[in-house]
């Protein structure tokens, strides 16, 4: 089979499931992954004969897309904050909204003037201590470590499988992160005090499942997505309580939140005694990130 024949087969197979723009994006990414083609090559080499081994991979990928498996899981990787990340069914696929969370943390880290956040290390500086709770693929701590190389960064997750992926991503990006297997809801105390605590915990209510696409609902880990309708802020309540006790003075708590529960989350954080609460909308105009200080 040559490239243009495969493209026809690919489009015909997926045309009732995805919009054409998404199909084109899938096609370009698959040919880049399995043939090393650039977009221009797809036009210039439309008569290129695909060998059987590669064709088998492409046809398998097409069938998985037909079953609404995310492309990132099919090829086993994605990009976040300009960095490569391994992903599989044990971790959520990093979202662009979470890149905005990372960018805000990096921006606010500059307020810690007495801390070392760059390569300009001196004897007068102390190490900035950061904790990510519910790390999943490790996209948040790994990206932060690349931006803040002299920060000491720890990351917690309840899933050993997720931590295995996160550790691979730390190695892939050549950073040192302290990973901790821990159920945050059962955590009585943290192992130290921190300057910044971050969490993008499960926050989608069961009643909101109908809003999710099948590729998410059928494939991404539910333990990292969903909370019960009657207690949707369970993770925020626990983490804010820990932050109240384990943030250093003037330390910062960052949350990625459910867009429908911004007011409720602000009230909860305020009730914990944290101050200077700010709510930020994401690129789509939805309430998405909260920061508060101790």
Q: What is the pLDDT of residues 149-203, one digit of tens each?
A: 999 999 999 999 999 999 999 999 999 999 999 999 999 999 999 999 999 999 9
Yes or no: say if 183 and 158 are a contact pair by the CB < 8 Å rule. yes
The whole-number average pLDDT for the span 247-258 is 96
pLDDT of residue 18: 94
Q: How far apart are CA 242 and CA 270, in angstroms?
A: 14
Q: Helix, strand, coil shares of the chain as percentages rounded to 5? A: 45, 20, 35
Whether the model clears a pTM of 0.85, i.e. scores above it, the answer is yes
Q: Indicate left, alpha or beta for 279 from its phi (over 0: left) and psi (-120 to 50: alpha).
A: beta
What SS3 class is residue 254?
strand
User: What is the percentage of the chain residues whose pLDDT exceeds 90?
Assistant: 89
Sign of CA dihedral 79, 220, 165, 291: positive
User: What is the percentage of the chain residues whose pLDDT exceeds 70?
Assistant: 96
pLDDT of residue 42: 87
Instruction: Provide the pLDDT confidence category of residue 39 given band limits of 50, 70 and 90.
Output: confident
**C-alpha 192: how far from chain center:** 25
pLDDT of residue 123: 45
pLDDT of residue 110: 85
Q: Per residue in 102-145, pLDDT tens?
A: 999 999 998 886 555 555 554 455 789 999 999 999 999 999 99
**For the chain, what are the domain ranges?**
3-67, 90-293
pLDDT of residue 176: 97
CATH topology of domain 90-293: Rossmann fold (3.40.50)
Look at residue 287 and tell me whether its pLDDT is greater than 80: yes
Q: How far apart are CA 142 and CA 225, in angstroms?
A: 21
The whole-number average pLDDT for the span 50-56 is 96
Residues whose CB falls within 8 Å of the CB of residue 267, separated by 6 or more in sequence, listed in order: none
Q: How far apart are CA 22 and CA 26, in angstroms?
A: 6
pLDDT of residue 119: 55
pLDDT of residue 197: 98
């Amino acid at each position: 089979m040559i490239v243009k024949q495969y493209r026809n087969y690919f489009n015909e197979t997926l045309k009732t499931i995805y919009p054409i723009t998404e199909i084109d994006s899938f096609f370009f990414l698959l040919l880049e992954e399995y043939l090393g083609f650039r977009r221009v090559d797809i036009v210039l080499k439309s008569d290129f004969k695909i060998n059987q081994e590669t064709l088998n991979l492409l046809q398998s990928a097409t069938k998985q897309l037909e079953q609404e498996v995310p492309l990132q899981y099919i090829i086993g990787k994605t990009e976040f904050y300009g960095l490569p990340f391994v992903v599989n069914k044990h971790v959520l696929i990093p979202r662009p909204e979470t890149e905005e969370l990372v960018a805000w943390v990096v921006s606010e880290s500059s307020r810690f003037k007495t801390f070392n956040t760059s390569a300009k290390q001196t004897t007068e500086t102390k190490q900035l201590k950061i904790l990510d709770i519910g790390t999943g693929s490790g996209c948040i701590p790994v990206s932060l470590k690349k931006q803040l190389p002299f920060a000491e960064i720890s990351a917690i997750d309840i899933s050993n499988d997720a931590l295995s992926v996160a550790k691979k991503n730390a190695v892939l990006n050549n950073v040192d992160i302290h990973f901790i297997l821990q159920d945050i809801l059962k955590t009585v105390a943290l192992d130290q005090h921190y300057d910044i605590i971050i969490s993008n915990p499960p926050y989608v209510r069961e009643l909101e499942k109908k809003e999710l696409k099948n590729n998410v609902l059928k494939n991404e880990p539910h333990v990292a997505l969903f909370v019960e309708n009657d207690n949707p802020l369970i993770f925020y309540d626990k983490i804010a309580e820990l932050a109240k006790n384990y943030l250093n003075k003037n330390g910062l708590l960052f949350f990625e939140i459910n867009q429908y529960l911004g007011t409720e989350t602000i009230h909860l954080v305020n009730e914990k005694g944290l101050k200077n609460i700010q709510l930020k909308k994401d690129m789509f105009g939805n309430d998405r990130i909260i920061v508060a200080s101790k």
